[in-house]
Amino acid sequence: MVISRHITGKIRSARYAVEAVLIPFYLFLPWLRWEGHPWIRLDIPARKFYLLGNIFTPQEGYFLHLFLIGMGLSLFFFTTLIGRVWCGWACPQTVFTDLFDWIGRTVLGSKYGKKDAPTFGKAIVHFLWISVSLVGALAWISYFADPYEMINDIRTSSFWLSPPVWVYFTGFFTATLYADMAFVREQFCKYACPYARFQTVMMDADSVNVTYDFKRGEPRRKAGVQEGDCTACNLCLVVCPTGIDIREGVNVGCIACGKCADACAKTMGKEGKKTLIGYFSENQAKRPGASIRWIRPRSVVYGTLLACVLIAAFVLLYGRAPMYANVLPDRIIQPMEVPGGAVRNFYNGNLLNLTFEKRTWNVSVSESTLRSPVRILMGGTEVPSIQVEGNGSENFRIILETHPEAEDLLIHTHKISLELQDVLNPKNRMKKTVPFLIPQTGR
């Protein structure tokens, strides 16, 4: 683990401001409610995902696919434009590292990270790190379990006699976060993060990233002789959390945190010169005064693909009906002919209400390959409707009946489309196509 020297500056202050927003957002988002329901939660046992008042089911997995594709394309697009800005400004690994470093420096001061730090002080630091890890793990588990129920579990005596499942996951993630922050840190970014492996492929000479102005800086000061602006103070090296030298060019270990830029700005400021390290492109370092080419082939391709995914997601969300229905032929009762010449088919269905309100859906026949009219029988009555409680499901039974005409009898299997329409919001509708069989026995 590398504990870099602390540095202050404009970039460091800006990153603190961003982290001051991200950390509370991460901690308190699971506690927020939308009309009494969670803003966001992945309820794995119930197989439901809550997001801003909407409920999604595994059957809507295409939204997850679009989300993952969109995240990947966003990674490509923004890396092409502004390099590893995610790593240095918003990645949880970086944000938590800064938080843990702040705790260590607050307790130990200048002794933080040094071998001669007092034992009692180090014990306090590790105790606080474990406490923060516990809070971070509880916050993470709150995205999967109700935090209010977790608090209630802790208050009751049953928590100690028969701990809920979330307790074991909390213990695991607490240990994982503490081990990561206490012993690994940015070495994960340097040696294990997959993004670091291929970020150099997505970047080019016009990508804005933390860059060293080698044209001004080289050759560095040596033996009191200075030809370039670089004084060889190596402050950029000692403040780097991954221990790399930005002056060697684009490096897989650079997380674009900007600490080296603040360090260089401080050194160059003493000599009345502009910093040699900052957020600019390689082409700008080669040709001072050159502008950044934001529009170029790879940025256009990534941007177009990302726009297509976002448009597809928006269209699907806009036309989404907050319901899931499944209708299948009854496997036990076969199609039959009843007295009077009518033919009946039997179906079992399930309707899931993806809203938090009690809803009623009317059922009708929208399309049919039968020439004869089809009648719907539900629950022993002729009222074709289904009522479901909010965020609930209802099993139902449908009987379709028709008096087939002569042309209908020539075909054994017909298709009927059932339409389920929300009474409160007629725009919410769904079609389910089922087979309708004509019994052939005795014909």
Tell me how far apart the alpha carbons of residues 389 and 371 are, in angstroms, rounded to a whole number: 36
**Alpha-carbon distances of 179 from 115, 118, 175, 191, 355, rounded to whole Å:** 19, 21, 6, 16, 41
260 and 137 both lie in a single domain: yes
pLDDT score recorded for residue 178: 96
pLDDT in tens, 12-26: 999 999 999 999 999
Stretch among 117-121, 124-128, 199-203, 340-344 having the lowest mean pLDDT: 199-203
Identity of the residue numbered 149: E
Q: Return the CATH number at 386.
A: 2.60.40.10
Q: Which domain holds residue 240?
A: 1-31+83-289
270 and 338 both lie in a single domain: no
**Which pLDDT band holds residue 382 (cuts at 50, 70, 90)?**
low
Closest CA to 258 of 23, 2, 16, 438: 16
Tell me how far apart the alpha carbons of residues 309 and 301 are, in angstroms, rounded to a whole number: 13
Q: Kindly state whether residue 241 falls inside one of the protein's structural domains.
A: yes
**Average pLDDT for residues 322-348, to the nearest whole number?**
92
279 and 346 both lie in a single domain: no
Q: Kindly state whether residue 275 falls inside one of the protein's structural domains.
A: yes
Strand 374-378 relative to strand 393-402, pairing = antiparallel
233 and 369 both lie in a single domain: no
Q: Kindly state whether residue 74 falls inside one of the protein's structural domains.
A: no
Enumerate residues 6+ apart whose C-beta is below 8 A from 416. Answer: 365, 367, 368, 369, 370, 374, 400, 433, 434, 435, 436
182 and 108 both lie in a single domain: yes
Q: Mean pLDDT for the chain? A: 89
343 and 250 both lie in a single domain: no
Residues paired with residue 417 on neighbouring β-strands, in sequence order: 367, 433
5 and 104 both lie in a single domain: yes
Q: What percent of the chain has pLDDT over 90?
A: 55
Residues paired with residue 55 on neighbouring β-strands, in sequence order: 50
- In the chain, the number of structural domains is 2
pLDDT score recorded for residue 114: 85
Q: Kindly state whether residue 101 falls inside one of the protein's structural domains.
A: yes
**Average pLDDT for residues 397-413, to the nearest whole number?**
91
Q: Kindly state whether residue 41 falls inside one of the protein's structural domains.
A: no
Most confident of 116-120, 194-198, 380-384: 116-120
pLDDT score recorded for residue 327: 94
Tell me how far apart the alpha carbons of residues 409 and 403 are, in angstroms, rounded to a whole number: 10
Enumerate residues 6+ apart whose C-beta is below 8 A from 411. Answer: 369, 438
**Average pLDDT for residues 152-163, to the nearest whole number?**
80
pLDDT score recorded for residue 54: 87
361 and 212 both lie in a single domain: no
**Above 70 in pLDDT, residue 223?**
no
Give the end of a domain, one of 272, 289, 306: 289
Number of C-beta neighbours around residue 425 at 10 A: 12
Closest CA to 285 of 212, 187, 365: 212
pLDDT score recorded for residue 53: 82
pLDDT in tens, 290-321: 888 899 999 999 999 999 999 999 999 988 88
268 and 347 both lie in a single domain: no
340 and 387 both lie in a single domain: yes
pTM confidence score: 0.84
**Average pLDDT for residues 154-162, to the nearest whole number?**
78
**Above 50 in pLDDT, residue 268?**
yes
Residues paired with residue 42 on neighbouring β-strands, in sequence order: 49
Would you state the structure tokens that stand for residue 405, as one six-digit string? Answer: 């005409």
pLDDT in tens, 115-145: 888 999 999 999 999 999 999 999 999 999 9
**Average pLDDT for residues 200-207, to the nearest whole number?**
84
329 and 269 both lie in a single domain: no
pLDDT score recorded for residue 67: 92
Tell me how far apart the alpha carbons of residues 26 and 11 are, in angstroms, rounded to a whole number: 22
Q: Kindly state whether residue 102 falls inside one of the protein's structural domains.
A: yes
pLDDT, greater one: 314 or 382: 314
Closest CA to 42 of 166, 152, 167: 166
pLDDT in tens, 42-98: 998 888 899 888 899 888 889 989 999 999 999 899 999 998 888 889 999 999 999
Q: Give me the torsion for CA of 294, 300, 302, 306, rounded to 10°.
A: 100
Closest CA to 141 of 176, 107, 116: 176
Q: Kindly state whether residue 54 falls inside one of the protein's structural domains.
A: no
pLDDT score recorded for residue 275: 93
What is the 3-state secondary structure of the chain? CCCCCCCCCHHHHHHHHHHHHHHHHHHHHHHCEECCEECEEEECCCCEEEECCEEECHHHHHHHHHHHHHHHHHHHHHHHHHCCHHHHHCCHHHHHHHHHHHHHHHHHHHHCCCCCCCHHHHHHHHHHHHHHHHHHHHHHHCCCCCHHHHHHHHHCCHHHHCCCHHHHHHHHHHHHHHHHHHHHCCHHHHHCCHHHHHHHHHCCCCCCEEEECHHHHCCCCECCECCCCCCCCCHHHHCCCCCCCHHHCCCCCCCCCCHHHHHHHHHHHHCCCCCCEEEECHHHHHCCCCCCCCCCHHHHHHHHHHHHHHHHHHHHHHCCCCEEEEEEECCCCCCEEECCCEEEEEEEEEEEECCCCCEEEEEEEEEECCCCCEEEEECCECCCEEEECCCCEEEEEEEEEECCCHHHHCCCEEEEEEEEEECCCCCCEEEEEEEEECCCCCC
Q: Kindly state whether residue 307 falls inside one of the protein's structural domains.
A: no
**Above 60 in pLDDT, residue 442?**
no
Tally the residues of the chain.
Answer: 443
Q: What percent of the chain has pLDDT over 70?
A: 97
- Residue whose token pair is 């022993």: 380
**Which pLDDT band holds residue 287 (cuts at 50, 70, 90)?**
confident
244 and 128 both lie in a single domain: yes
